[in-house]
Chain A
Amino acid sequence: MSLPTTVTGIAQAVRRGQVSARAVTQAALDRIAARDAEIRAVTRLLTERALQMADALDACIVAGEDPGPLAGVPIGIKALFDIKGLPTTAGAAMRVDAPAAEDDAAVLQRLTGAGAIPVAVLNMDEYAYGFVTVNAHFGTTRNPRDTARLAGGSSGGSAAAVAAGMLPLTWGSDTNGSIRVPAALCGVWGFRPAHGSVPEEGSFPFVPMLDTLGPFAATLDDLETGLAVAMGRPVAPLSALSVARLDGWFVTHAIDAYEEIFSAIGRVLGTMPMAHLPRVEAARAAAFFITGHDGGRLHRAELAQRPLAFDPETRDRLLAGNLVPTDLRDRAADFGAWFRARALDLLDRYDVLLAPATPDVAPLIDNPVIHTGDGPAPARANLGMLAQPISLAGLPVLCAPVSRPGKLPLGLQLIGAPGREGALFDLAARLESGGVLGV
């Protein structure tokens, strides 16, 4: 039989012994070899370990054991997850000789415990501080939908590997939008879990108050399967009975193409009320301010010892963050608590809130400018302006690709309350059936 390409298809065929995990793994390696010279999503292949794991898994199948819901599924992971025996670079050249990790990251253990086979480490902005995946050492990840354009970031390698068809499931991190931005720009499904719902042990931190770890996939089912394994529990089925579109900031700073998209959503759902989340601009500012402080402090020792070893784009931001007073950072966090409470108030009235994921489509690599409500703006600083406020609220967000045949991808944030992720998957499925969403 021909090899399946989806997570669910691969796992089912491997569990039934219809295809071998080794064949699936080798096929993924072959796809990467064929495509990644152009895309540059992969920073390291895990060939030897992957083939050994595949052989071991095939032996389990022969012995009558069930490896789990990700049996034989080749996955890729952002370069900030610990992999036993390898340095965790977090996208930093200065860490290529760091001590080897003593164990796999906790979330990677859950994935491999369910049968997944890690085959590649994926590119990112240095230390996850960026929305573009332009890395001075590991290169720029190109957008598979248009290789003249950026993939977005900081989990750009993870999104691009799925969009290019190299891997069916990848893993990234999202502090201020680093899953949602690249998922939107590359036109794949992504999920930012509620803060704390996926274990973070063994991942290189950035801003612990905001950091989350989540999946990318080419199908909605695959996204849910990966998320459930990582959370250690199924996504509880829920219906999205009431849905609203966020107004204000989320309308002003998105390109006009979103109006057609929301009109189409309104036709599917029958209604599309607007909802108001107060002081969104301040939420974005607070997340930015906290990130500067916490990221700067995290790297202060290295900045003191060898500042010129950093990627210049990362370094100057981390340095500046070191001069943010901690008492003001704490005041920004106080505002964050207020903002989260307002967001949860709104989610008492609505099951799902909708908002664009990025202001514009993927910018050109040679001219990284996007359009916002303030006019043309630098992509690096503004791609996350619609994602960042939701990070401050700590909410789970499903980032869905809008169905736009022949056009550059755009993404939609489906925002819910922690523990009610099922409503996000329910709405996404309905909108996909209605032709509004989908790869």
Chain B
Amino acid sequence: MTIDWHWASIPELAAAFRDGRSSPTAHLSHLLGRIDALEPSLHAFVALDSDGAAGAADASAARFAAGQPLGPLDGIPIAIKDVIDVAGFPTTCHSALRLDHVAARDADVVARLRAAGAIILGKLSTHEFAIGGPAFDLPFPPARNPWNTAYHPGGSSSGAGAGVAAGFFSAAIGTDTAGSARNPASASGGVGLKPTYERLSRDGVFPLAPTLDHVGILTRGVEDAAILFDVLTGDTHAADLGSGASGLRIGMVRHFHEEDMPADAETAAALDRVAVSLAAQGAEVIDMRLPPLEAFATVNRVLLQSEGYAIHGADMRTRPERFSALTRKALLPGAFLSAKDMILATWHRGRLTEAVDAAFADVDVLLTASSMEPACAIDDPAEIARTYMLQARTPFNVTGHPALAMMAGLSTGGLPLSLQSAPRRDDERTLLRVAAAWEAAMGGPQHPPL
């Protein structure tokens, strides 16, 4: 049987490296060939570090040959959203404003991955400053969706989602301020994990809105996400994934996608199938009401615009032409928000957080929509603008609860449909467990026809 190594999970690769069926060097060579063939149509990378990756792969191969791998990520290729520092490479944020800002040292998350033996493959496309995109007026083209390159791959961790889904690397590190690690997993398939606020270090990560910013993990499968989370936190979640959904109490927040921002019929039907599947596995699924989605979205927007303008206001005032038009559109409102607005948004944030915390008195995990529709055409600005807000990811940036988005099925148009789940604060274990239960019911991670 021929193995498609580019779809292999992290444990499958580690096993193959140990028993000699593959090696970090051979695997990297395979991936670089795949990238060479497919990258011209996907634009996942801003910078590919073939030489650095080759050196790291050789060092990893030597450790395996000596029977001394560093751990589950040794020899595993991982790529980094280009708002996160990788020593020796510019952290461009996909912007003309930062093409020369070479990082002197690795961000904390990158350093942890390197210490675990991971191979840092390169820097990945993003929306400009993790907010303005997909845009065609920037120094690099926008990433495209591997399921259909005419479509948006989700963002702002767009290269991360596209590259993971395309089989360019096993995992990517992204960021998530209003859903940016979960949107790509919703649009391009795979898994997007936003851990609890400040669970992963933001040291060396260019900020968008510091009180909302999270570092996120993107992978093709849940087990791979758990392994990365464990390596980055020193925790042990991966061991718990096989326990299924039995006994879990799941609160389905239907009003998000049935009343607040109505989802298309295929997305709504997919969410129902997920709920039925989890109930069939022994979970108790009940309907749950939270504050309206508009409240979360507005609080997120006001905080993001205020904090983002505090960072970019000087450049916006003095050289606005250097930004993408979409970035100006996203951040200019921050110039007109007052301290009174910020205080009111912060007050509502507290109330919304209390409401979500209270919901967990009755359930272990929430099940919600992620995107209300599958991805739209990448070159249709009106559709991009229309669908940008049709999502239920902002609640958990506002509250800081962990959340995970993943594939819920395929649309009749052949694009991923998505779901989101969220547990109590710091309970990534339950989050990953319920995600693994749905993934198993789905037949494992699904891949685009590439």
| A and B associate in one complex | no
